[in-house]
Chains A and B, each alone.
Chain A
Amino acid sequence: GQQLNQSPQSMFIQEGEDVSMNCTSSSIFNTWLWYKQDPGEGPVLLIALYKAGELTSNGRLTAQFGITRKDSFLNISASIPSDVGIYFCAGQLGRGSARQLTFGSGTQLTVLP
C-alpha cells in the first residue's frame, strides 16, 4: 500500500524560530493535507492543498504541494508555545475507495521558551 515518510520525527525549537517539516510518498496523491493533534484530541485540519505546485498559507503556516505530487512540506514561522503538538501530513488520491486518507507518522514539535 501507499507509504508516507514524514520527517523529522521530533523537533525541539526555541520560541520565535521557524520550523519546517516534510512528507514524501512512494506514489502520487491528488490532495495533501496537514493536521495538528493536541494531546487527548483528534487531528484538526490546518491546510489543504489540491494542486501540484500549490503554495498555501494560513497565518504563520505555509504549505506546498510538490510538483511531482509525491511530497509536501509545512513551514511554521515565528513559533509560539501553542504550536506544540504533533503534526501529521496526509495524502488523498481521489474519489471512492481512494478517498481514504493515508497519514504520515507525525512530527512531534516542542517549543522551548
Chain B
Amino acid sequence: EAGVVQSPRYKIIEKKQPVAFWCNPISGHNTLYWYLQNLGQGPELLIRYENEEAVDDSQLPKDRFSAERLKGVDSTLKIQPAELGDSAVYLCASSPGLAGEREQFFGPGTRLTVL
C-alpha cells in the first residue's frame, strides 16, 4: 500500500513569492492534516480536513496561508506571499476517519527555504 505522497520534497524561494505544496493521502483515508515543523520542534497542526471540509483551521495563519481539498482526496497548501519565518518542513498526514482516528500516517514532508 502506498503511503502519503508529498511534492515537492524541497522548495527554495525568495521572500514575497508564492509557493504551493501538494499532498496525496493514503487511498481511502477520509481525514487529512497539514502540519508545520520548525527545526528542532515537533509538528504543529495547521489544518484538518474531514473529506472536503476543513473542520479545524484555527492554527492556520489565514492572512497568507490557504488550503483546499476540493474532491476530498488530494490537498494543496499555499503560502502567498512567503516570509522568511515560513522556512520549515510542511508535513501532510492522513488517517482512515472515525474508525481509525488515533493513528495518523505522515508523508515525508516538503522542506521550504525562504531566502
Contacts and interface: CB of A to CB of B under 8 A. Distances in A.
Contacts of A95: 101
B40 A106 contact: yes
A105 B102 contact: no
Contact of A88 (B42, B45, B93, B103): B42
Which of B42, B43, B44, B108 has the most C-beta atoms of chain A within 10 angstroms of its own C-beta? B42
A106 B58 CA distance: 24
A8 interface: no
Contact of A90 (B9, B41, B42, B91): B42
B36 to A, nearest CB: 11
A42 B102 contact: no
Contacts of B56: 97, 100
A102 B106 CA distance: 15
A50 B102 contact: yes
Given A42-B4, A45-B105, A95-B101, 10 more contacts: A40-B108, A42-B108, A42-B109, A45-B103, A90-B42, A100-B48, A101-B104, A103-B41, A105-B41, A106-B40
Interface of B: 4, 9, 40-45, 48, 55-56, 58, 91, 93, 101-109, 111
Interface of A: 4, 6, 31, 33, 40-45, 48, 50, 88, 90, 92, 95-97, 99-101, 103-106
